[in-house]
Structure 1
């Protein structure tokens, strides 16, 4: 995967999926003039088979094609949780289908032939959304890995600290849960320091947000 050397984020890809040779190459020329190189696909099936659907970016997808329609390709992308954002290309008279596609999650639709400014604006918007989602996914993965690095006991303490309990309250709660394993508040403090270090956080407020983001709070046993 190609990445930006400055921020380690993947460089967005741009794909054109249209069964009309002239349209594909015309769009590619417009994109090239705007600083984008595009991958061209003559069919929806070929695109689904050859493209990296998990690499963020934008796909310009024709609504009506021989074989798989644009809507069928879009639905398959959704089923595969593709990172690509879709901008539909529609011919005159396909307005209702294009609007319906946007309501289903496409970023935009463009009527052919495309205006250069409108095309580049749509591609920029779609790639920006795709990269933002990719960044959020990477952040979530990093947080999950940090959470997994905690011991089971540390995770248990972290969930309680995330609710705003003090070390004394956490020690009391854990003691009530398991009378055979009493815990001292000072031990909770030690766990707290280790938890904050492993999760790279500095406050119980940050811990609360992290636990909520990960859905780890749902695992708390009352």
Structure 2
């Protein structure tokens, strides 16, 4: 496995991307790493799928250039293992002539693109950029959802119950009536709902029931 490198020539002109190269052909790994480094990116190479899965940071945004056909664990098997682990990395498959059907199938399963070897340099760099951008978007959404869940979990069970009702756009009076119907032994006054509303908005850092509805929808 090669150590991460950075290029000083073009670093000022591009945002460095973290790119993993997974290919059992040493010559391919070397040529791809050289191209990526010249583009100002960080390249890290692995000779096999298991080595990559053991040594890569699957939680960090970036791109994986993944050989479709390798001895031992195939590229598709590596890709499936990445999906099972919930990685934010995005994959560009590298395929040899005659592997079109497998490459297309991989794209349908969520890969960003596939390129036939030998790759055109400009096409490869564009695919890497596209994959890394998508990866960053996925990572950002995942972080936002984690932060939303943390704020949501800061609410008491009663506040969460009130929040779900208010998110539908009903008034405090209607929410109080609905809660009383659900649990007649624990009636609630509309003014108490208003108190919960204020606490909910404060904890979730929102200003309206519409924002509350959007937040709950984002959390699924």
User: Could you state the TM-score of these two structures normalised by the residue count of structure 1?
Assistant: 0.88
Instruction: Give the aligned CA root-mean-square deviation in angstroms.
Output: 1.3
Quick check: 1:12–1:55 contact (8 Å CA) kept in 2?
A: no
**In the aligned structure 2, how far is the partner of 1:147 from the partner of 1:170?**
19
Structure 1: gaps of 5 or more residues: 1-10, 216-222
Are residue 45 (structure 1) and residue 15 (structure 2) matched? no
**In the aligned structure 1, how far is the partner of 2:156 from the partner of 2:17?**
37
**In the aligned structure 2, how far is the partner of 1:28 from the partner of 1:174?**
61
Question: How far off its partner does 1:79 sit?
Answer: 1.7
Length, aligned pairs only: 205
* Shift in alpha-carbon separation, 1:12–1:135, aligned structure 2, 3 A: farther
Are residue 114 (structure 1) and residue 86 (structure 2) matched? no
Tell me the equivalent position of 1:210: 215
Are residue 85 (structure 1) and residue 90 (structure 2) matched? yes
Of 142, 146, 149, 2:151 maps to 146
Structure 2: gaps of 5 or more residues: 1-15
Question: How far off its partner does 1:12 sit?
Answer: 5.0
Are residue 13 (structure 1) and residue 13 (structure 2) matched? no
Tell me the equivalent position of 2:69: 64
Tell me the equivalent position of 2:108: 103
Q: Which runs of 4+ in 1 moved over 6 A?
A: none
Question: How far off its partner does 1:182 sit?
Answer: 2.5
Question: How far off its partner does 1:32 sit?
Answer: 1.0
Question: How far off its partner does 1:199 sit?
Answer: 0.4
**In the aligned structure 1, how far is the partner of 2:68 from the partner of 2:180?**
62
**Which digits, 9 at most, give the CA deviation of each residue in 1:80-132, with x for residues without a partner?**
22221110011122222111111111110111111111111000000111110
Of 126, 129, 133, 2:134 maps to 129
**In the aligned structure 2, how far is the partner of 1:77 from the partner of 1:161?**
39
Tell me the equivalent position of 2:9: none
User: Could you state the TM-score of these two structures normalised by the residue count of structure 2?
Assistant: 0.89
Question: How far off its partner does 1:13 sit?
Answer: 2.3
Quick check: 1:98–1:109 contact (8 Å CA) kept in 2?
A: yes
**In the aligned structure 1, how far is the partner of 2:83 from the partner of 2:120?**
28
SS in 1 for 2:187: coil
